[in-house]
Amino acid sequence: MPESEIEKILSDAQTFLKQEQALFGNTLYHEKKITKPSTAAIVEKVERTESTMAVKKKIETPAPVKKSPIIEEWNSAADIVDLNKQICNCMKCALGKTRTKFVFGVGNPNADLMVIGEAPGADEDAQGIPFVGRAGQLLTKILEAIQFKREDVYIANILKCRPPNNRKPNPDEVEQCEPYLIKQIELIKPKLILCVGLTAAHTLLKTEESLTSLRASVHNYHGVPTFVTYHPAALLRNPNWKKPTWEDVQKLRKMYDELKTN
């Protein structure tokens, strides 16, 4: 580089330094050029940070504990006797406190026909057996009229404990107790069900239809063909219903015979 150029650079530098001194005193500030990152680089960095955080979060957040459904012991009952043993002290609803006796059911554990009513009444609550008293005796006669002995069938109620003053079962009582009935059906494996009474029919079939309408067809309760007819206690109050009841059970017997021969 020629000497004259060097002198010019030095002179320019001196002038610059003097200006700097005039502005900032004896502290010399050096301006460093900052290169701004490109938008793409920023996006990439954010993405990288977010993905790192996500991975970290994944590692740090414990996996949610999977809740397994509560399987109550009675669900695995081997037979009807075992089931009775397992649930006879049930206190799942308020009726457990007011019952005299738990009314599980009675009859042939391998019955082809199951009779289902609504809930125990006063006699049943006192004896721990379903369908006793006058209504129970009439049920026995109805069964005999279609060639079933009482001991050949299985008789049970939806509720196993008596609602005070024979009031209708509450929905929560049905919700707690009906699974026991379903388990009884699963263990007995009846070919047919006879549901007696409007309340029992409404509760089992989850419908509000009239008894007349329900009697007109065969229903399905947990895979079992189900007939509906009057409750024997209703027949004691109104003997006019005996004839239609007779017709209902005749239809049931006919289907039973057909199932037997097939």
Which residues here bind ligand SF4, judged by CB under 6 A?
Answer: 90-93, 95-96, 159-161, 173, 176-177
Buried b (16+ CB within 10 A) or exposed e, 200-220: bbbbbbeeeeebeebbeeebe
Provide the minimum distance between the beta carbon of 155 and ligand SF4 in the complex, in angstroms, as a whole number.
16
Q: How far is CA 149 from CA 41, 76, 117, 143, 152, in A?
A: 89, 30, 18, 6, 5
Provide the minimum distance between the beta carbon of 242 and ligand SF4 in the complex, in angstroms, as a whole number.
31
Which residues, other chains included, contact 245 with Cβ-Cβ below 8 Å and sequence gap of 6+? 142, 229, 230, 235
β-partners of residue 157 are 117
- Return the number of the residue (139 or 159) whose C-beta is nearest ligand SF4: 159
Provide the minimum distance between the beta carbon of 83 and ligand SF4 in the complex, in angstroms, as a whole number.
11
CA angle (204 as vertex; 191, 250 as ends), nearest 5: 45
- Return the number of the residue (176 or 184) whose C-beta is nearest ligand SF4: 176
- Return the number of the residue (10 or 122) whose C-beta is nearest ligand SF4: 122
Provide the minimum distance between the beta carbon of 160 and ligand SF4 in the complex, in angstroms, as a whole number.
4
Provide the minimum distance between the beta carbon of 191 and ligand SF4 in the complex, in angstroms, as a whole number.
26
